[in-house]
Each structure stands twice: as structure tokens, then as C-alpha cells.
Amino acid sequence: MLQRWQNLTFLHWRYEPGIIGRMLPQGLQVDTFEGYAWVGLTPFVLYNLRVPFTPAAPWISRFPETNVRTYVKGPDGERGVWFFTLEADRLLAVLAARAIYHLPYRWAAMRVRQCGEQIVEYQSRRKRPFAPAQTDIAIRRGERIVSGPFDNFLTARYRLYTTVGKQTAFADIDHEPWSLHTGTVLRLQQNLVQRCELPPPVGEPTVHVSIDLAVRIGRLQLFAKRPVRIS
């Protein structure tokens, strides 16, 4: 799948690794930075969604999305992203992503609004039959930064992990290095993180902002099952 991500904001909070580790499937382990796991709340606009060599279809190819994520290492040690939820404003996209990538997408009524050049507002409210959850966020974009090890830990992830039945699966993600900006929270009301059965975030989040990025997501692949040893 080819797509672009516009007006993307990363909001991250640190968590004890044991809390996150208990929520991961077998085959994945928590990836930490300076002893802490990190959980991200990430709203953005997805657009120009298409398969290679085809044009983007009207309406279905552009919609807001918000995900709740953490960072993991797979069975082969590769670093990647584990999603607790992905909220999207297009029901067809939700159904397709669930079927093709086995990701926990949920349908939501969402809006992203640009207010001047620096401020972006994000609103989301889940639709039935999914359990209620909502966000109301406003961010002011700041100066561009030079990414360091911590910034890259939170954002430079080139693989997503999921499960197909009891098997771990992955898809590789390809894009140019992030062009990141600082961000200031103007408004942050949400219960989406807690609806993922995570403890409520504590303290002010670490904020990164990206204006636009082209992304390619590869096909879903299963890790080979380990052979059963018979003694």
C-alpha cells in the first residue's frame, strides 16, 4: 500500500516496561529507552491511499486516523510498532485493514482542522458497535529539530507487528527520514489510551510534529513456526 501522512502529531508518555509487556502477544518483547517503555497517541490525516501503479480513488483515499501504539522487538530482534488501536474515519478502510493486515482498526467520526499555519486540531469519537472512546486535541507546531537518539526511538520505526491467529506477523514500512518539529499542546482531552486497558498517561507528553511524509507499507508476512522437537 502507498499513502501519505499529513499533519501528524506524536504524543508520547513513558510507562513501566512490565505494564506494557503483559499486554503483548507471545513472540514480542518491549523495546525500551533508558529503562522505560513508551506509549504514543498519534493523530494525522492519511491521504493518497492506493496500491502501486493505480491512481488514488476519490473519497476513500483520504481520511483522518489516530492510533495508540507502543514499541517492540520481534522474534528476529527487529524493532517495530505494536498497535493497541487504530481509529479511522472510513468504514471501508477499517474493514480492509482488518482483513488484509489483521490490525485492530475501529470506525470513528473524526475531524482534522488546520487553524492558520501552525495550529492543528484533531477530534475523534468512536462509532458503534465499538466501545466509546474520544479525543479532542489542539497542537501548535514549533521549530524544526535535528533528530537525536530519543527522537528516532519514538518515530523511526520501519516495521509493524500484528498477529494472525496465534502466529506473529509483520509488514515492513518504507519512507524517508522524518522531518520533525517541536510541538506545544494547547488542548488535550482523551480517553482513547485508557480504552486500550492501559493506565492513564501521567504528566506532560513528549511532542513531535511532522507536516507530510510519503509511505510504502509492504505485504503482511508470517514468521515461520518453530519446529516441534521430538526427543
Q: Identify whether the C-beta of residue 72 lies closer than 8 Å to the C-beta of residue 29.
A: yes
Residue 59's pLDDT is 76
Distance CA 40, CA 11 (A): 5
> SS3 breakdown of the chain: % helix, strand, coil, rounded to 5?
10, 55, 35
Complete domains list, the chain, with CATH: 2-222 (2.40.400.10)
Residue 225's pLDDT is 66
Residue 57's pLDDT is 78
Residue 28's pLDDT is 97
Backbone angles phi, psi at 126, to 5 degrees: -60, 150
Helices (H), the chain: 17-21, 91-101, 149-155, 192-195
Residue 226's pLDDT is 56
Q: Identify whether the C-beta of residue 161 lies closer than 8 Å to the C-beta of residue 168.
A: yes
Burial of 192 (0-12, 13-18, 19+ CB in 10 A): buried
Residue 231's pLDDT is 45
Residue 219's pLDDT is 95
The mean pLDDT values, 10 residues at a time, for the chain of 231 residues are 96 98 96 98 96 83 97 97 97 94 97 96 94 97 98 98 95 97 98 97 97 97 67 45
pTM for this model (two decimals): 0.94
CA distances from 59 to 9, 56, 127 (A): 23, 9, 19
Nearest to 59 by CA among 51, 68, 50: 50
